[in-house]
Structure 1
Amino acid sequence: MKRALLAGLSAMTGLVANAIAATATCPPIQSIHQTAMAGGGYSYEASQPGGLTWTGKNPSATASYLNDSTFHDARYDAQNEAVTCTYKGPMGNDAQLSVTLKSVEEWNLTPIGYWKGTYCEDSDATKCSFTHR
């Protein structure tokens, strides 16, 4: 009887754990909002379903950086439990910005798509999706 209860509890725990895992990807450039900083440059913010927010700053950015950039890569930082997405302008263009999704309780990165370890590079951000809790 105890074994049956423990087996059932273990199965339910697995289902709940899978239910709270979410798939995320770097925000599309169109969903990133920029705000001028007092000392120059811009800060960046994008909301993700579930109430999480991507944020970033570039003190040397100009207003055109957001319009001039496209998705370049994503990196997972295990020490800080964060994913940083980088957007860059075309060759010869200095435009570059990044946004970071910071620590989520019980972060669990499971690479999907084009991840090579903790790094993913592709022009399509959906190829760099990941799961987390």
Structure 2
Amino acid sequence: MKKLTQYLASIGADNYFDKMNLSINSLFLSDKIEINPYSDHNWELRKGEGITVVNAIPSEDKQDRFFWEEWYIHQGEVHHHILSLWKPAHFDEIFECPEKDDIHPALSFGKRWYVVEEADMTPILLRR
């Protein structure tokens, strides 16, 4: 998983996670996983007024089976959302993504997402 952490650092995600008091090495560096489970995800960084966001969203053709994850800090609170187009057994809210905005990735626009507010910041695809 060293390649993933190197990639995240190369796009500046380490700085975004630092603002959340999270470390890409703690979150994403695992010697137990050899293949990058996020290889079908697009990583997008966003900043807005009072918000810093890291998005890992699957490519359009994989959204029916992979989660979109976002980690963000807003008003001093860090959040980890796990979003899906399918209805999971438990979800906290439904997010109707607008057709366009400055915070969310374009691949999420105009869709209904089921949101799980996750207290565990560990990436879902790296959990064992």
* Alignment TM-score, normalising by the size of structure 2: 0.29
Richer in strand (by share): 1
Structure (1 or 2) with the larger CA radius of gyration: 1
* Alignment TM-score, normalising by the size of structure 1: 0.28
Query: Looking at both structures, which has the greater relative contact order when contacts are Cα pairs under 8 Å and sequence separation is at least 6?
Result: 1
